[in-house]
Amino acid sequence: MKIQSLRPHKFPKQIQKTLLLLCWVGICSVQAQNYEWALGMGGTDFDAANDIAVDASGNVYVVGNFRSTNVDFDPSTGNTANLTADVIDIFIAKYTKNGDYLWAHTIGGTNIDDGLNIAVDANGNVYITGIFSGTVDFDPSAGGIANLNDSDGTGFFAKYDTNGNYVWAHNIGTRSNGIAVDASNNVYVIGNFFGTLDFDPSAGNTANLTASSIDIFFAKYDTDGNYVWAHKIGGAGFDFKNGYGIVVDGSGNVYITGDFGGSDVDFDPSVGGTANLSSNGGTDIFFAKYDSNGNYLWAHSIGGTASDGGVVITLDGSSNVYITGSFSSSNVDFDPSAGGTTNLSSNGSLDIFFAKYDSNGNYVWARSIGGTNKDADRGMTVDGSGNVYITGYFQGFNVDFDPSAGGTALLSANRSTSSSIYVAKYNSNGEYIWAYEIGGDDSNNGAGIVLDEQENVVFTGHFSEDNADFDPITGGTAPLKNLGQYDIFIAKYCQSAPSGAGSIASSATTVCQNQTGVTYTVPTIANATGYTWTLPAGANIVAGANTNSIIVDFSSTAVSGNVTVSGTNACGNGAVSAAVVMTVNPLPASAGSVISSATTVCQNQTGVTYTVPAIANATGYSWTLPAGANIVAGANTNSITVDFGATAVSGNVTVSGTNACGNGVASTAVVMTVNPLPASAGSVISSATTVCQNQTGVTYTVPAIANATGYSWTLPAGANIVAGANTNSITVDFNTASSGNVTVKGTNACGDGVVSATLAVAVSASITPAVSLTSDANNNEVVQGTQVTFTATPSNIGTAPTYQWQIDGANIAGATNDTYVTSTLKNGETVSVIMTASEPCVTTPTASASLSMKVVSPPDQPFNITGVSTSNDVVLSWETTGTGNESGFHILRSINDSSNFVNIKTLDAGIRTYTDIGQSPNTRLYYKVVAFNIAGETASAIFSLLLTGTDEEMTNVYPNPFSNTFRITLGTLYQGKVSVRLLNLQGQLIKDFGLFDADTLSQQVFNTSTISSIIYILELATDKHRTTIRLFKK
């Protein structure tokens, strides 16, 4: 199967959609018809349509044959749908109700193929019948193959879906002329055949019929093309019989028409049944009725002595039967009843007839039309009122299409030998309504006619003259250009203007300017293809335009007025509906300029006023403000007072008037700059929340605060910012501060932000830690080797002080408690404790205390005891070692024996002389000097002296006290060399002056400028005598 590409003609498209109002003189009725559109398709050869059908949506289907190459079946400008024939091929095409191309297919092989008849079922499936030769692919899809074969030329019938897709196809083995479909989509075909043929197309089954001459067949198949039944009509003689037309009523009864010749042609196909009809001459017209099973009901013949034949048969809603065709005989009786006579005679070689019979085949009326040349009918249909429409061709001049007595409706071809297309309408009584002629300069023919769902006339055929005018109604033109020999045409005419419009139903009769979505609906108007609505000024259809239900928006300038509607089609407008009176209430007028008391404000600013001049038609005022601004006075009036909250932002102030209809046009915006307050402060971060009085360098920080140009801090009383003031990070010193809170807030020119959460700071007073040190030793003296306990007594130390004990400044390992016990002290060592307080708020973290311990060992033995007697006194002197560890001296004396000593005096430590006065002369005195301390006593050697009573010169030092120098005078006891030394009170040598002659000692000056001012002991000694004198240097 070849699928040809589609391409437009290279000349103005044949489709012309102009309204035509032509009424030819004498043939125009009171009913209007108008040209809607016409399409022309063809090439340089012979191309013709044979039949036409419409579906329930008004889509148009045509079938025929074409010989040309590159025939463009898409009549729209700029689009192509080219098909090319091999020899003579079948075409099928589909168009919308407006004549727009949907699809077209070609079916054919290398021989002659022709599509003769077409039918459409309720689902839009397409059925065609015709003839083909050779091998033909009936599947027009790319790659699809559905071949049928017949070398001699045979009939076929085929089914395609509404999109032109192949469903099935069957051959019959003979010519098939007509096709019909019933309500159950069963398929019926009619034609003629010769010989024995199998009418069951299924494999392996046979349904043979045999004709001894050329006989008529009619057959029924189900929707899938399966055989149901087939019958023949024929006689014994070798005569021609042709079945052309077939139709089915609502009960499945089958009606057929055609022509036949000869006698005793049996129209009852049943076995044993006979219903013979005989021709009156050449060929006669027949029409017959059979039930849904093909059983004979009745049959009639009409004819004269010449050739007469039926071509098309159709029914009205009452199953009245209409047939049409052509006849050439005279005195042809169209009333087949016995005794009935209704003769019609042909005026030329061939005339048109159309006739009506009831469902039982009884004559109702018959009409003929013709001139002196050939005139033939090829198509017929009936509308719901029984009006009859026919098409075909006629030749010659002044052919009268009004068959009534005295009526005249003349149509003429341009030449006597040319043929014109005619289309004509008659009422249910066969009376003339209108007729039109198309073409006339060449060979033109109307081949099929149908009515769509609105009873518009759609017909087809072929035309051969250039610029054939398919607008025969007005004086306008709708020319189709012929491209070759014959070209295909399809044309559509409306029949009548729409009916008058009913009452409009409205969703509202009072609306507002700017109101939307208002609906208006009028009941469907008969024959209307569109709807013309009139609306008040400023109202606009937004949905449903050109339909019976619209949605309307009323603009801001809409005014009151009327809504009406009328139906439209190509034939004109119907009567206008009664008006719906619409009241359109106005919106407020546009707002003027807003007057403001300030255009730059701060968050939290109050009392800002805005005023607009009074707005016409306004019952209120709708103000828009920046976010965070609030009307505090004058709401819904033309003057308001506004407070700007803490969260207000910059924005516009506008106002529009309001009323029940909505808002008017808003004013020009007043641009408001709202300077922000600082954002809320975050949490304060501190280096310390517990501090001490006088603590310094404590930091407080808050995350940067949006919009802040400064920072306001609050501190506990007595605390001072020492760095970072007015920033988000400060350093604080706590002087004599007390506990309190720290907060902060951002500041800027508009004020303060929200303060931070409170940070509590505890401030403690500063204290000075102290420690005292005691020992369990009396007067801090202890006998060497005796255990001593030292105790530290602290104050202002906190709960966990620490201790470190020291001896002479050196830490004692492990001595870290508040007591220290030792038995290894040495004399003169200093025991210290360093206490570190745990109290946080102290002036100094540590305190210390020390004790200098006297570690006492038994005193050293006094030695070198000397005595000088003067009169009744004895001056004793002695020496001790340098340790000076005695607490004092006991002076013991015994008189005249060396055993019974009596303590005569106790002296303090450091004294090295004692004068025992008032002793009797010539008495021997014994002395012991006993050093004592807490460790015990140590006695000197016994010193004895005989008190003679003779005066001894006294040794003297002068001056005493002295500054830097002194002199010495010696008593008579000193002879020879005298040692002069200066000792401290502990007996330690300070300065050794050397040995001097006793005789010259008084001449010496002793210098002490290099020693400190203090009490000293001056020692004068010979090998036999020793004297000590206490000196004081100033």
Total Cβ atoms within 10 A of residue 363 = 19
* pLDDT mean over 523-528: 89
What residues contact 422, with CB distance under 8 A and at least 6 apart?
390, 391, 392, 393, 394, 399, 401, 411, 435, 436, 437, 438, 446
* pLDDT mean over 636-654: 95
Contact 622, 656 (CB under 8 A): yes
In the block, residue with structure tokens 């029940």:
660
Residue 899 pLDDT level (bands cut at 50, 70, 90): confident
pLDDT at 870: 60
Instruction: Catalogue all structural domains in the chain, each as residue range(s) with its CATH number.
Output: 183-369 (no CATH), 505-585 (2.60.40.10), 595-675 (2.60.40), 685-764 (2.60.40.10), 770-856 (2.60.40.10), 953-1034 (2.60.40.1930)
d(CA 946, CA 949): 9
Average pLDDT, the chain: 87
* pLDDT mean over 698-708: 94
Contact 90, 63 (CB under 8 A): yes
Contact 487, 47 (CB under 8 A): yes
d(CA 321, CA 315): 5
Task: Give the phi and the psi of residue 1002 in degrees, each rounded to 5.
Answer: -65, -15
Residue 576 pLDDT level (bands cut at 50, 70, 90): very high
d(CA 349, CA 852): 171
296-300, 689-693, 870-874: which is most confident: 296-300
| 248 or 940, greater pLDDT | 248
Task: Give the phi and the psi of residue 779 in degrees, each rounded to 5.
Answer: 55, 30
List the single range of 743-757, 916-930, 995-1009 with lowest mean pLDDT.
916-930
DSSP string, 675-731: EPPPPPP-PPEES-SEEETT---EEEE-PPPTT-SEEEEE--TTEEEEE-TTSSEEE
Residue 613 pLDDT level (bands cut at 50, 70, 90): very high
pLDDT at 314: 98
pLDDT > 80? residue 556: yes
pLDDT digits (tens, 9 = 90+) for 160-216: 999 999 999 999 888 899 999 999 999 999 999 988 999 999 888 877 888 888 899
pLDDT > 60? residue 540: yes
pLDDT digits (tens, 9 = 90+) for 52-110: 999 999 999 999 999 888 888 988 887 777 777 778 999 999 999 999 999 999 998 88
pLDDT > 70? residue 492: yes
User: Could you give the 3-state DSSP secondary structure of residue 1003?
Assistant: helix
pLDDT > 80? residue 217: yes
Residue 359 pLDDT level (bands cut at 50, 70, 90): very high
List the single range of 306-310, 376-380, 397-401, 699-703 with lowest mean pLDDT.
397-401
Residue 951 pLDDT level (bands cut at 50, 70, 90): very low
pLDDT at 562: 97
Residue 226 pLDDT level (bands cut at 50, 70, 90): very high
Residue 256: in which H helix or E strand, if any?
strand 254-260
